[in-house]
Amino acid sequence: MAARNYKAIISYDGTRYYGWEHQPGKETIQGKLEGVLSRLAGSEVEILGAGRTDAGVHAKGMCANFVLDTDLEDEALKDYMNRYLPDDIAVIGLKTTSDRFHARYLATGKTYQYTIYQGKEKPVFDRKYVWVIPERLHVEKMQKAAEYLQGNHDFASFCKAAGKNKSTVRNVDRIDIRKRGDYLLLTFHGDGFLRNMVRILTGTLVAVGKEEITPEDVQVLLASADRRKAPATAPAQGLCLLQVDYD
């Protein structure tokens, strides 16, 4: 049987991994997936993700593709992968797709969600998935600041050093901030995000919520295109990639 291109939707708890992408001598999501596929194929198989989540970041809907020559039907291949993957990584969808499909280059948008916990008691069972902030944040001011961040902007102030010739312009069309009990959910949708961008945006919005800076200061930060002027990066564990969009 000829090799086929597969599209996979992957869910993972990133707590114990050094991110998606290969790193020498370290456990990564990509490495675990390729290990299982290469075992089946008897040779090295490369899996290409829609993005490169940081160490400690989670995903409910990472999309990836890989080329494999196998007699297994789609559902049987999915079952095989889940049988040999560790318990904190799961393939939740898998299907044969067009040879032209590329998970990264054809992605048209991504949705991330950042979860903050505000409460008197420690969230023991959620501690790996939230940023615990003792004080109550001023949500209305955060929402005002989020309005300034929405749209097509140069986000150089809100990313970890981009490549020399890499554009830092992105379109973020939605930042939704809402309370759910003691939890504060920040949902970001855009055509793409730079390295650490969602975490730096979150850190900035939290600084507004703590009234360390004003919503209007965010406009100044955007215009400065200087990462050194923006607040600290939010911790990795509160961030989760929810979905990747394709036309």
The catalytic residue positions are 54
Q: Do 124 and 197 form a contact (C-beta atoms < 8 A)?
A: no
Nearest residue to 243 (alpha-carbon basis) of 127, 101, 103, 102: 103
Taking the C-alpha atoms of residue 198 and residue 53, their distance in angstroms, rounded to an integer, is 11
Residues 151 and 172 sit within 8 Å (Cβ to Cβ): yes
159 vs 99: CA distance, rounded Å: 33
Biggest CA pair distance of the chain: 62
C-alpha distances in Å from residue 44, one per residue of 31, 70, 158, 167, 225:
11, 14, 37, 33, 42
- Residue 40 has which token pair? 């089946």
Handedness of CA 86, 245, 241, 235 (dihedral sign): positive
Q: Are 150 and 174 in contact (CB under 8 A)?
A: yes
Whole-angstrom Cα distance, residue 33 to residue 31? 6
